[in-house]
Amino acid sequence: MMAPLSSPSLSPQGCLALMAAEGLFLLVLQFDTKHFSDFAARKRCHSLSGLMMLFLPPQYLLCRLYVYAVVIVGLVMTWQLVPALPKWRFGDYGDIGITVYLIIVGFWFYSEYPVAVLAPIFFADPSGAVIGKWASRNLPEYNPTWVGKKTVIGSLAVFVVTFLTLYRPLAFIPRLLTSLATMLVEGFGGKFDNLYIALLRIMEHSETACEVGAPPGNPSSRNSSGACPVALYGFDEKHISLFAARKLCHAGSGFAMLFLTP
């Protein structure tokens, strides 16, 4: 598991107000076709919903139940499991991007991980799309595509926003390299870019959170900076050392990603 979360800064009343605001916000994006195009509604949903969720403490059962409800309703609408409910107007039937986004957020709250780790998913991906589209319209000569439909300025926006919003690492060079990796993953990830970015963030967070030198029999000393989010390490400390779990986290997760088809 990742590092324990600090005490919630938002009161239950504040959480209720934020939940109501997000629900209203989603309704506006779904039905206000006059002021929001499908593209604008999708990117606002992606980033601003993520921003609101950053303030919902996963420690509160109420917040987790709310996120579960949003995820379930969102998936039902995306896959048209209940004909009476409309699909998201800014998404296709069975939209992989929306599906992955919802599952990641639901899993994160279920696991009570620090939501701030997902900030690059919330902000970098939509920023790249919005800025890339603007640059293609206004500065086409400086914004060629470099992989698929991804543009140079759009990908640079992903890099910059990732660098600014990273939860960890804090040191300049690792932060720079993580931002570069996120930009490449977003560029080559296709419809699964959010999933790849989430896996990258888990691995990077574990790399910076795990203390290789911690005594093997003292989990409290490791938890002071966070533990590697790998099930083998979290539950089998008898057979797998902290060092071995760290490397399994790095290599095993990367190996699994090789079989995920973009």
Q: Which tens digits make up the pLDDT trace of 151-198? A: 999 999 999 999 999 987 678 998 999 999 999 999 999 888 888 888
Q: How sure is the predictor about 232, in pLDDT bands with cuts at 50, 70 and 90?
A: very low
Least confident span in 77-81, 98-102, 160-164, 211-215: 211-215
pLDDT for res 224: 36
> Which of 48-52, 77-81, 115-119, 235-239 shows the lowest per-residue confidence on average (mean pLDDT)?
235-239
In this model, does residue 231 exceed pLDDT 50? no
CA angle centred on 237, ends 228 and 105, rounded to 5°: 35
Q: Record the tokens describing residue 252, joined without a space.
A: 């095993």
**DSSP collapsed to 3 states, the chain:** CCCCCCCCCCCHHHHHHHHHHHHHHHHHHHHCCCCCCHHHHHHHHHHHHHHHHCCCCCCCHHHHHHHHHHHHHHHHHHHCCCCCCCCCCCCCCCCHHHHHHHHHHHHHHHHCCCHHHHHHHHHHHHHHHHHHHHHHHHCHHHCCEEECCEEHHHHHHHHHHHHHHCCCCCCHHHHHHHHHHHHHHHHHCHHHHHHHHHHHHHHHHHHHHCCCCCCCCCHHHHHCCCCCCCHHHHHCCCCCCHHHHHHHHHHHHHHHHCCCCC
pTM of the complete model? 0.75
Higher pLDDT: 213 or 182? It is 182
Residue of higher predicted confidence among 221 and 101: 101
| Residue with the larger pLDDT of the pair 223 and 10 | 10
- pLDDT of 202 higher than 90: no
Q: Which residue has the higher pLDDT, 68 or 192?
A: 68
pLDDT given for residue 54 in this prediction: 93
Return the pLDDT at 170.
75
**Least reliable range by pLDDT among 134-138, 148-152, 250-254:** 250-254
First to last CA, the chain: 28
Over residues 33-50, the mean pLDDT reads 95
pLDDT over 70 at 136, yes or no:
yes
List the Cα angle 191/192/196 in 5-degree steps. Answer: 150
Q: Contact at 8 Å (CB) between 126 and 43?
A: yes
* pLDDT for position 87: 93
Task: Check whether 205 has a pLDDT greater than 80.
Answer: no
Answer yes or no: is pLDDT of 252 > 90. no
**CA dist., res. 248 & res. 136, Å (int):** 42
Separation between Cα atoms, residue 99 and residue 91, nearest integer Å: 10
Dist CA 262 CA 245 (whole Å): 27
* Mean pLDDT of the region 209-217: 44
C-alpha closest to that of 178 among 142, 151, 203, 153 = 203
